[in-house]
Chains A and B, each alone.
Chain A
Amino acid sequence: MTHSGNIVSRRLLLGAALAAPAIIAARAQSKPGITDDLVKAAQKDGTLSYYHNSDIGPTGLWTDAFAKRFGLQMKNMRLPSYPLFDRFLNESRVGRHLADLVQITDPTLLAYANRLGFIADYTPAGGAMIPGDLKQEGIWYGLFTDPMGIGYNSKTVTPEEEKLIQTGGWNALADPRWKGRFGTATPASGGSSYAFCYMFLVTLRAQYGKPWFSKLAANAPDIYASKAPLFERLAAGEYTLMDQGSAGTLSDYYLKGAPIRWSFPAPTPIALTSQSITKNAPHPAAARLFQEWSTTAEGQAEWLKYSIAGATRPDVVDPRHAGKLDWFKEPWFHEPTEFYTAYLKDEAFADPKKPIIAEWNEIFNYQSGKKG
């Protein structure tokens, strides 16, 4: 596997975005997929059951906006990525079909569910605007992107250390000065953590691989079974820095006033929030309508009102980015220069046995969900 084939230039994703108007009035664009017949059929369904792994607050507001717009009732169920997917799988296997749509951060699992016959073949009109590497046509569509970098607590680093984090690339994480000050999450915790570790252990194995992770392990990090609580502990000052720092969550803490900053070493892995319609959706028309709306500029722009993750449509730009607001105006903030998304098309990544978890556990001496 070569490095070059797996790195997507930033230009590909953000170039088009910057060239587009700030936020397009999207209703006109969305109309081709959202037909009167579909809306009527969805309203006849009446309800939509949405299995997701996103933050319940923003997701609730986003789905409420959809429900109000089309006169439907939303039923959201939130669980962490893997338990959610497993629940959907078990329900599908016994023929108990409750979910209309499933949204998780590991789209390869959606592809796996498709191979099992649990995913509907549907192509929303807005899907054409989503870059090819962020979707599997007819199966799953990436809705939001979230770059992952190094997050750090600005109150607990010296200026020299901050410089190292900002300019030292990924090797900055391996510096022994972080011993006892570093927190990380197991790749078994979720799709984004797995994608992050996959880049270093598989795609960039020659450059980083086991020796690099061994240096991280030598810093005796606290290992979290779920990544999300790590952000809170970083903000509280329990740790100085973390890897797998999702920009969406870090910037949320920044907006709340926490002393949180971050850097995006190159290449920057992208976590992709992806969505599929289930094969036996109890409300199929409502499910199609929601996917149509989710993939329109209107639906994606609506999401940006409540959350910070980026839209996958290049014509939808975060107004904060366009207006140089919030962290975009900070002197320490630097845009990522190149993105890593190629894992999404890597068949080995989709191996449901997730073999790199075992290797990672061995490097960090982390067994049976516990430190060894």
Chain B
Amino acid sequence: MTRALLPWLLIPLLTVLILVPVGFMFLGAFMSGALADPEAHLTLSKVAAVYTTLPFLRTLGSTLVIAFLVAIAATLGGVTMAWLTSRTDLPARPIMETCIIAPLFLSPFVGAIAWLVLGSPRAGLLNVIARAWFGTTGAVVNVATPSGIVLIMALYYLPYAYLTVAAALRNMDPSMEEAACVNGSGILGTALKVTLPVVRPALISAFFFIFVLACGTFAIPAVLDRASQVRFLAVDVFQASATYPIDYGTAAAIGTLLFWISVMGIAAYRFASRAARRFVTVTARGYRIRLVRLRWLRWPMAGLVGVYVVLSIVLPYLALVWSAFARAGGTIFAPVWTLANARGVLTSAEVAGATVNTLEVGLITPTLCVGLGLLIAYAVRRLRVPASNAIDYITMFSIAVPGIVFGTGVFWTYVLTPAYGTIAVLVLAFVAAYVPFAYRISDTALLQIDRALEEASLLCGAGNGRTLLRITLPLARPALLSAWIMVFIFAVREISAAVLLTSSDNVVLSVLSFNYLDFGDVPKAAVVGLLQTALLAAGVIAGRYVFRVKLSSQV
């Protein structure tokens, strides 16, 4: 494959995968009805309503505030955890590290179900226990509030900040910290005055990345805020597409609004990422990491990580187990256990089919994503093909579109093709949605590989394709495998687009749990959630111990 031909392959491919669905979203925003409705006509009314009227602007404000707070909380938490596990003598660091990224294995949708069971104001298990043990009267925990939603979203986005900042911290030369210590600076002083400025680009990058993800999040506010007390744009998109009269125009118009917000967030993210990578490349050299001694703070800091683990993993899983196996009518103090829900779910043909579909999507999507991501990174970074900037931008486009709106665009893109209604349409949607992640990880990996190795291959007569396969690919293997695992996690958990593209032939576990919850069947949704987690854990454990992939070292 020559340098000149690659753009002719990549640009049409990315156009169909990403630009056409995004284009349908913009077209839909200017239509009075569904695209196929013969009575629908072009209009500015939907866009005008969304961009200029008070209800939507209030919701926009609320979304921005919530996403900002989530990004701040998750980034601060992630930075703290990353510093503790990367640069200090925190006890049991490998276990702590695994625990901190463990929330990635729990679908945010399922995690939200768990927190609904734990933190509803009256019937939430935590409030029931508080009333019984401490005689409290009001709600001690209420997840159905703006602060509750911010907290739960932050819990599940914290690993993203952790992964970004931990990688930067690991690559940081510790001599600067040592110099600060020698000159009398304490632990906090060194962390704030030396470490923090050095990782600032990674931190800013993590902040904007989480901000963009939070703006487009649908599952957590939709599940927790069943009574619609909190305004959130992505939830409005879902309601416009799910309640009567179904209003695709408004849904698409809100989608375009989210798109512009995300584009700005991504621009800031890319700027910070570039700065972060420049920093890492310049300072990457041989050194011995000397850990900061926490002294008396060692165990309190371990306790801090423990609190996070309890809130993000232990309590939600206990709630899921409670929901799945406790009979209705029992109490937390006198439970009546039952296997009926688990038996009912695990023996049903729907779950068997959905499990197979989930595995298919979970295996094919990351494989295609990583292949495409690497090809794009190689074309843009190494070959510097014509239109590199365009390819780079188009690849990152889908991050800017909320999954639920992107799913609508994918529907119109493929409805008349054989892929529609099959696993293939889910794979196409997910590849488009997650190729930016695979691309960024591949890109970072290429940056870390000395070009001289590839140049030696080329000088010895190998072509670009052979060099990619024989030199670059093996060297980038650890990063690519970790990208594979990351996209595997996303694909198994994905719900927003999957709900819009579901059919009788391609139901996946996330859609099944959504359908159970839509019928108020929390126990069965919990069983499916646990099953989904088992699949994710199996995939990640296989990656960790069979392929030696360390997720936290490559992002």
The interface of chain A, by Cβ under 8 A from chain B, is 49-50, 55-57, 60, 64, 75-80, 82-83, 86, 89-91, 93-96, 98, 183, 186-190, 194, 222-226, 228-233, 235-239, 249, 253, 256-259, 352-354, 357, 366-372
Query: Is B503 a contact partner of A238 (Cβ separation < 8 A)?
Result: no
- Chain B residues with CB below 8 A from A370, complex form: 55, 59, 228, 231, 236
CB distance from B325 to the nearest CB of A (A): 13
CB distance from B530 to the nearest CB of A (A): 17
Q: Is the CB of A224 within 8 A of B348?
A: no
Interface flag for B424 (CB, 8 Å)? no
How many pairs of residues, A versus B, come closer than 8 Å at their CB atoms?
Answer: 153
Q: Which residues of B contact A (CB under 8 A)?
A: 34, 36-38, 55-56, 59, 117, 120-123, 226-229, 231, 235-236, 239-246, 327-330, 336, 344, 348-350, 411, 415-416, 420-421, 502-505, 507, 512, 515-522, 524
Judge whether B328 and A258 touch: CB under 8 Å. Answer: yes
Given the complex of chains A and B, what is the CA–CA distance between A362 and B392 in angstroms? 47
Closest chain A CB from B171 CB (angstroms) = 45
A86-B34, A96-B416, A369-B236 given; A256·B518 CB < 8 A = no
For A357, the closest partner residue in chain B by CB is B244
Task: Give the residue of A93, A235, A236, A354 whose beta carbon is less than 8 angstroms from that of B244.
Answer: A354
Do B228 and A371 touch (CB < 8 A)?
yes
Q: Which of B36, B228, B330 contacts A225 (CB 8 A)?
A: B228
- 9 A-B residue pairings within 8 Å (CB atoms): A55-B521, A56-B350, A83-B246, A228-B518, A230-B226, A233-B520, A238-B120, A368-B55, A372-B55
The reply to whether A188 and B520 contact each other, CB–CB distance below 8 Å, is: no
Residues of B within 8 A of A367 (CB): 55
Enumerate chain B residues within 8 angstroms of A83, measured Cβ to Cβ. Answer: 241-242, 246
**B239, A237: Cβ atoms under 8 Å?**
no
Which residue in chain B gives the minimum CB-CB distance to A221? B227
9 cross-chain pairs, A with B, having the tightest CB-CB distances, nearest first: A222-B227, A257-B329, A369-B239, A75-B504, A232-B520, A93-B36, A236-B123, A258-B328, A188-B243
Q: Shortest CB–CB separation between residue B401 and chain A, in angstroms?
A: 20
CB distance from B512 to the nearest CB of A (A): 8
Which of A96, A237, A371 has a CB less than 8 Å from the CB of B229? A371
- Whether A233 and B228, one on each chain, are in contact in the complex, defined by CB atoms closer than 8 angstroms, is no
Q: Judge whether B503 and A98 touch: CB under 8 Å.
A: yes
How far apart sit A21 and B116, CA to CA, in the bound complex (Å)?
Answer: 45
Q: Known: A94-B36, A236-B120. Contact between A80 and B242, CB under 8 A?
A: yes
Report whether A223 and B243 are in contact in the complex, using a CB–CB cutoff of 8 Å: no
Q: How far is the CA of A257 from the CA of B522 in the complex (A)?
A: 15
How distant is the Cα of A31 from the Cα of B324 in the complex, in angstroms? 43
Contact A257 B236 (CB under 8 A): no
Write the nearest CB–CB distance from A191 to chain B, whole angstroms: 9
Measured between alpha carbons, how far is A14 from B231 in the docked complex, in Å? 45
For A55, the chain B residues whose CB sits under 8 A away are: 519, 521
**Distance, CA A262 to CA B501, complexed state (A):** 37
Given A232-B520, A368-B236, CB of A91 within 8 Å of CB of B415:
yes
Bound together, the chains give a CA A369 to CA B227 distance in angstroms of 10
Nearest B-chain residue to A191, judged by Cβ? B244
CB nearest to A48 among chain B residues = B504
Closest to A256 in B: B328
Given contacts A56-B516, A372-B55, whether A86 and B246 have CB atoms under 8 Å apart is: yes
B255 to chain A, nearest CB (A): 14
Contact of A233 among B226, B415, B502 (CB under 8 A): B226
Known contacts A75-B505, A230-B520; A188/B244 CB under 8 A: yes
Contacts beyond the supplied A222-B227, A370-B59: 4 A-B pairs with Cβ under 8 Å: A60-B349, A82-B243, A256-B328, A369-B228
Residue of B nearest to A55 (CB): B519
Are B415 and A94 in contact (CB-based, < 8 A)?
Answer: yes
Alpha-carbon distance between A369 and B234 when the two chains are bound, in angstroms: 11
Bound-complex Cα distance A195 to B228 (A): 22
